[in-house]
Amino acid sequence: MSTPRNDWGHGTRNISGCGLAGILNTNGRRTNGEAIMGAMSVLHERGNGLGAGYAAYGIYPEFADDYALHVMYYTSESKDATEELIAQHFDVTANEPIPTRPVETITYPPLLWRYFIQPNRRALVESQREEPEFVIDAVMHINVDVKGAYVFSSGKNMGAFKAVGFAEDVGRFYRLEEYQAYLWIGHGRFPTNTPGWWAGAHPFTLLDWAVVHNGEISSYGINKRYLEQFGYRCTMRTDTEVIAYLLDLLVRRHGLPLELACHILAAPFWKDIEAMPEAEGVLWTHLRQVYGSAMVNGPFAIVFVDGREIVGLNDRLKLRPLVAARSGEEFYIASEEAAIREICEEPESVWSPRGGEPVMARLAPGALAGVTGARLAAA
């Protein structure tokens, strides 16, 4: 089915666009991509065809211990250079083109490839880096220094799939109905301040993190400079990229609880801190002083995942829509309730999270028993 032309807004800037959706089966039961594509099809009018994508978890059980690199190449030289770099630092279990099908509305795709890799033990020891940092260094090196090559996914037993197009067309292009996952997120883009291009589509990922976003990050410059102090490099020309790196910094590297990291990203107003009990006020004063450059300003709704949790978060004033729902073992989140009801007609509960307050769901203990992988084994 061809996608209709989108005349919503008649080509003018629309500041409330972008569609988000996410599905987590808390018992780890895997389903194919039909449901998330169905939810995103309802949000069609929130995008304009300049970018869409998905992330899925549990899709590579046969390679669960390997990092799955999804890479897009714009030249054959970039592929050669990237594979030379991979060979120097990693042992490659398998590599192949990412399966796609022709879709009339998806044009001029780059070469899409995936690699299942393990850090080479000698190279890892010589680097004197922890394994996650070793992988991140390689991802940043490729994205910054290899012209025409972009790693758009680098986690374990998960993958991102994104392109320039509408969300339902991007899903068909990547044949998502052939994948089985216990956690899905999707995004349909309506870019306002940044270009619409393949690597700039959502989600943005790093290791197991994947983020989709509706809104604008007015603190992007401060966030970017702050992250660069820790070795992160922003290369995708889209403000959302900083959120994935901030989460990795706060949770993985600094060891903060995920909920606390959310409150750093959408920190309380100073007037609210002043009204807190003394001990709580002192804590938040220190957190805002230490992590002021990690605070995300501007209107936003984000959904992010790490393979164990799914989290929705609005800016403090809730200037972008976000709705959550539950039905049995399923947790849903989307820009609009209609997207949830497309795939779950009668959820047990539906609510709109408050601004600045994260809403999250986690895998049940033991949900992924028998699945290996660094992050997944801890679920």
Q: Where are the beta strands (DSSP E) in the chain?
A: 19-25, 52-57, 67-73, 90-97, 111-119, 149-153, 158-163, 183-188, 204-206, 209-215, 300-305, 309-314, 323-327, 330-334, 349-351, 359-362
Q: How far apart are CA 15 and CA 89, in angstroms?
A: 43
CA of residue 166 relative to chain centroid, distance: 17
Catalytic residue among 18, 234, 262, 344: 18
Q: What is the assigned CATH class of domain 15-378?
A: alpha beta
Backbone angles phi, psi at 168, to 5 degrees: -65, -30
Q: Where are the domains of the chain?
A: 15-378
Is 234 designated active site?
Answer: no
pLDDT tens by residue, the chain, 379 residues: 344 444 444 444 455 689 999 999 999 999 999 999 999 999 999 999 889 999 999 999 999 999 999 999 999 999 999 999 999 999 999 999 999 999 999 999 999 999 999 999 999 999 999 999 999 999 999 999 999 999 999 999 999 999 999 999 999 999 999 999 999 999 999 877 677 889 889 999 999 999 999 988 999 999 999 999 999 998 887 888 999 999 999 999 999 999 999 999 999 999 999 999 999 999 999 999 999 999 999 999 999 999 999 999 999 999 999 999 999 999 999 999 999 999 999 999 999 999 999 999 999 998 887 554 433 333 3
One DSSP character per residue, 193-225 reads SS---GGGSSPEEETTEEEEEEE--TTHHHHHH
Answer yes or no: are the C-beta atoms of 333 and 279 closer than 8 Å. no
